Amino acid sequence: MDYTITRLTPHTGAEIDGLDLNRGVDDETRVALNRAFADHHVLVIRGQQFTPPQFIAAARIFGDLFQHDKREMHVPGYPEIYYVSNEQAVPGKRYISGETFHTDHSNHPVPPKATMLFPVSLPSYGGDTQYVNMHLAYDELPAETKERIDGRKAIHVYLSKFSPRELRPLSADSAQKVPPPGIHPLVRTHPENGRKALYLNPVRIEGIVGMKDDAALDLVAELMAHAIQTKYEYRHQWRHGDFVIWDNRSVIHKANPDYDMNERRYLYRLMLKGETPV
């Protein structure tokens, strides 16, 4: 198949042009796309036009769907597809899903390897999604810090009591289906590209095994301050037709709320099954 892959920064993100995923992909292209995903961590496949079932079919090029926790919130008629929208506001409050850096559903013992977004409505400016590369952030840690965090595990719950932001409460039914906390290494090794990465999520981390709360919070804050430096970032400016898939084993991300809230920002969202972080 005839398409191009172009880096978006030297370390994170690649743009793919010339593919219409609704036409399906041959085996060679599927392998190449999955390789590009593991190597570049964020893929921006331009020029797509998806109905909800077509979005699901495109996602399956990269793996099997992972069930999101907020089961009551989905695209009408498509329980698999979650959505992010600036219209999700709790009365009297502005609510932006994903407003601080995080990795998706790390409260699961086997968290999703990937998340995908496809825009339905975009504001006329702003609303970018920011990603930082957690492989590079790990690589550039001082040796002393690497030694300090080696073998340490964090406890990830649905909503940490230390979270910098609220999550929408789950319905009683969804809450019952949330699994027990994920206990994950602070440093994980990517099963496909072989690189180590920091695995952090201040929204969900409620403690570090064997550490007092204060010390654990300080350590997470120190690692986060290092990880979110602009030099590790790819910032995605949305265009209609972008199918964006990112690797939760390689990047953390956040939604940017810098746009006019009278304008609608609404994107379909899917995740893919991953593996136990090691």
**Nearest approach, Cβ of 64 to ligand SIN (angstroms)?**
19
Dihedral of the alpha carbons of 129, 133, 134, 136, in degrees to the nearest 10: -160
**Nearest approach, Cβ of 253 to ligand SIN (angstroms)?**
6
**Nearest approach, Cβ of 218 to ligand SIN (angstroms)?**
25
- Considering the rule CB under 6 A, would residue 111 count as an interface residue with ligand SIN? no
Would you say 35 and 21 are in contact if contact means Cβ atoms under 8 Å apart? no
User: What's CA 224's distance to the chain center, in Å?
Assistant: 16
Restricted to residues 33-62, the positions that interact with ligand SIN (CB under 6 A) are none
Residue selected from 103, 129, 248, 250 as contacting ligand SIN according to rule CB under 6 A: 129
The residue among 48 and 115 lying less far from ligand SIN, judged by its C-beta, is 115
**Nearest approach, Cβ of 135 to ligand SIN (angstroms)?**
20
- Considering the rule CB under 6 A, would residue 84 count as an interface residue with ligand SIN? yes
- Considering the rule CB under 6 A, would residue 98 count as an interface residue with ligand SIN? yes
Residue whose C-beta lies closest to ligand SIN: 98
The residue among 47 and 257 lying less far from ligand SIN, judged by its C-beta, is 257
Helices (H), the chain: 27-40, 52-59, 134-139, 143-149, 172-177, 213-227
- Considering the rule CB under 6 A, would residue 103 count as an interface residue with ligand SIN? no
CA 41, 42, 47, 53 dihedral sign is positive
CA 220, 203, 105, 35 dihedral sign is negative
- Considering the rule CB under 6 A, would residue 255 count as an interface residue with ligand SIN? yes
Report residue 54: phi and psi, to 5°. -70, -35
- Considering the rule CB under 6 A, would residue 115 count as an interface residue with ligand SIN? yes
Would you say 187 and 213 are in contact if contact means Cβ atoms under 8 Å apart? no
The residue among 97 and 107 lying less far from ligand SIN, judged by its C-beta, is 97
Residue 116, sorted as left (phi over 0), alpha (psi -120 to 50) or beta, turns out to be beta
Site residues (vs ligand SIN, CB under 6 A): 84, 97-98, 115, 129, 253, 255, 269
